[in-house]
Amino acid sequence: MYKASCSCRMLERKGILCRHIIWIYSSNGVKTIPDEYVVNRWCKDALRSKSFNCNGDPAEEIDIIDAKQISMSKMWSEVHQTVGIPMGRSKEVVDSFSSLIREFKEKLAPLGSQMSKEQEMVALIGCSTTQEVTIFPPKKSKNKGSGKRLLSSKTKAIALAMKPKRMYQNDN
């Protein structure tokens, strides 16, 4: 339908229509962006990129979300909303709220399992850690400069003035 280009080349650089092209379209009465300028990532039905688990194997497409996962997500949402309640209140309110949470945690302690940190991480992530270290910290480098001081223009002028002048020989 309508083709447009702009000297700012934002469409080519970032894949986004610039304000110049949008202004031209609106001044010409175009109500919708032409399909050739609509990027796939803007759409609801954009394809998801392939995801991998921690072992590097491709993860299967997750079409059906587990009911337990939904309820856990709702629970965490409620926890975060509840913790935000005493924000901006006095220290006494925060302390009493903290003591209520401790009491609630003590009541729930018999329900929780006694798992180590590593076992909790395996349950959360779905795979165990390896004992072999393949990444080492980088070697220490000097990042404070080479130590050579830059000379000021005054110092350069003095050094140039101290230099002996060239002797000319005139063979006439």
pTM above 0.75, yes or no: no
Q: For a pLDDT cut of 70, what percent of the chain falls above it?
A: 77
Which has more confidence, 153 or 90? 153
CA distances from residue 65 to 62, 68, 72, 73, 74 in whole angstroms, order as listed? 7, 9, 12, 11, 13
Nearby residues of 54 by Cβ (< 8 Å), 6 or more positions away: 125, 126, 127
- The pLDDT value recorded for residue 17 is 84
Copy the structure tokens of residue 36: 């050739």
CA 84 – CA 78 distance, rounded (Å)? 10
CA distances from residue 31 to 2, 3, 68 in whole angstroms, order as listed? 12, 14, 45
